[in-house]
Structure 1
Amino acid sequence: MQLRSALRSARSRVATWLPLRRVVKICAVIAVLGFTVLVASDLWIRMAHRKYEYSVESAPSADVAIVLGAEVKANGKPSGYLKARLDLGRQLLEAGKVKALLLTGDNGRSTYDEPTAMRAYLIEQGVPAAKIALDYAGFSTHESCVRAHDIFGVTSAIAVTQDFSLPRTIALCRAAGIDTVAVGDDTMPHTMVYRQNWLREQLADTKAVYSILLHPEPTFRGAQESSVRDAMAADPQP
């Protein structure tokens, strides 16, 4: 009787252990596949689109500079990262590389407004208001690129953001139908920030590949606007 009991107990332990081992194997396979997708997405984004990166001086001419939004402080002033982007946009306009600026950012709530803060800063720097168009529904890089093409009619652009985000921005805007090159800011102390947010960057590149393949709709589409065309045609003098 004791032997039978021991055998039953052993069989029960084996029956419990086998499914657990199977679950562990499945989780390991999923983890490896997930890591592979993250790395492959990042490599493709960066290797395939780095050739479209330029400086202000070397960038080819385009119709518009698309300046991507970033943090605006509680006092309504652009953060250092956003100022650096805006300064590049201003330099591109002053150098005659673009005919207008499209400022795209988050205005998803009444108490937070990136595009308006971006415009105010540029006007303070001497940029004519008439040369600026605003997109208040640029809630992500994908949405900014899609709306620039579909809503504002942009077909040729220089995208402006921080340098480590350039390949992803280029990939998304080109996938949206815009002939895009990009200029990136490298003046801000972001090296350590990037290292600390390595996983975030990998996930962002994977999300970009998802957006490129599946073309999700932007949060707000709306009617087509002529503000970019108007800004391009406006008198460049303040």
Structure 2
Amino acid sequence: MPSLISRTITLPAAKVRSILAIFSLKRFIGILAIGSTAFIVLLTAIDQMIAYYVKDAIYTDLSRLPYRPYGLLLGTSKYVAKGTPNTFYTNRIYAADTLFKRQKIDYLLLSGDNRTLQYNEPRTMARDLRKLGISDEFLFPDYAGFRTLDSIIRAKEIFRAEPMTIITQRFHCERALFIAKYHHIDAVCFVADSPYSASVTRVRESFARILMLWELFREKRPHFLGSPEPLPPPIQRATLSQSSEQ
């Protein structure tokens, strides 16, 4: 008889524990789903607000792009894998070449990563622009452009490259311009073509914008600054001034 009573008491307790476990799991899944949805909504809202804030400084039509003496070409890897060209890089190079030859800029500041002797974005960009016919006297490397924030701040504080035209893809334009506006830097951006595979990069960009806001909030500074190395004075502005005096 005692064993029967024990079994009668034990079985309901096991069922209760099982029900509670299922309820807790469902509750956890529900909270996780709500949290994930809220995060995605927040991520999208921040992404769109940044895009809207800088939209007036973004140009896709070359004929509407104002003349700026300095072009800031933001670096990226030339290859996505061994022997596979990175179309983002190629399109930025062609856009920079077009702006220079159409006299929308006088000089190009080539800002990128130089993490090793073998990996050197500014050197690679300079080499490819020389192949397109741009002389070294118009090309200035910035070997400490490790991140977009570094490139933008150094363009102003080290190279005195204002007013400037930033050259990169649209999603990158928006983040670069937001940093420039935050630091009161006179900049616009010309959009280089994006490859069809840009969707994955665009998702990653949304997370990069969250990191950007955090770094701006913390007043993050470039890894390296140093003494100013001003770029040469504008060519077209000097030419126009001389013409007006004659």
User: Runs of 5+ in structure 2 lacking a partner?
Assistant: 240-246
Q: How does 1:24-35 map to 2 (within 5 A)?
A: 24-35=29-40
User: Is the counterpart of residue 62 in structure 1 residue 68 in structure 2?
Assistant: yes
Q: Is the 8 A contact 1:145 1:176 kept in 2?
A: no
Deviation at 1:30, TM superposition (A): 2.3
Write the distance in 1 (CA, Å) between the matches of 2:13 and 2:91.
Answer: 71
Q: Which residue of 2 aligns with 1:167?
A: 174
1:151 maps to 158
- How much has 1:108 moved relative to structure 2? 0.7
Q: Report if the CA contact (8 A) 1:107-1:114 is conserved.
A: yes
Matched, 1:199 2:203: yes
1:230 matched residue in structure 2: 232
Contact 2:159-2:228 within 8 A present in 1 as well: yes
1:154-197 per-position Cα deviation (integer Å, ceiling 9, x unaligned): 342111012343222222232233111111122x6x12x02344
**Structure with the greater alpha carbon radius of gyration:** 2
RMSD of equivalent CA atoms: 3.1
Residue pair 1:56, 1:88 contacting (<8 A) in 2 also: no
Deviation readout 1:10-29 (Å, 9 max, x if unpaired):
33224434443443233223
Decide which moves more: 172-181 or 8-17. 8-17
Q: Which residue of 1 aligns with 2:10?
A: 5
Q: How many residues align?
A: 231
Q: 1:85 is matched with which residue?
A: 92
SS in 2 for 1:230: coil
Q: Which residue of 2 aligns with 1:49?
A: 54
Amino acid at match of 1:216: K
Q: 1:154, 1:178 within 8 Å by CA — same for their partners in 2? A: no
The aligned residue for residue 146 of structure 2 is 139
Query: TM-score w.r.t. structure 2 length?
Result: 0.79
Query: How many Å separate the matches in 1 of 2:143 and 2:183?
Result: 18
Instruction: Specify the SS of the correspondent of 1:134.
Output: strand
Give the distance between the partners of 2:109 and 2:169, measured in 1 at CA: 16
Could you say what secondary structure the match of 1:133 adopts? strand
Instruction: Give the Cα–Cα distance (whole angstroms) in 2 for the partners of residues 210 and 57 of structure 1.
Output: 36
Identity %: 23
Report the CA distance shift for 1:92/1:201 in structure 2 as closer, same or farther (over 3 A). Answer: same
SS of alignment partner, residue 11 of structure 2: helix
Work out whether residues 167 and 191 of structure 2, in 8 Å CA contact, stay in contact via their aligned partners in 1. Answer: yes
| Cα distance per residue 1:26-68 (max 9 Å; x no partner) | 3223212221122112211222222211233211222311101
Q: Does 1:128 align with 2:135?
A: yes
Question: How far apart in 2 are the matches of 1:134 and 1:106?
Answer: 10
| Shift in CA distance, 176/141, structure 1 to aligned 2, threshold 3 Å | same
Taking structure 1 as the reference length, the TM-score comes to 0.81
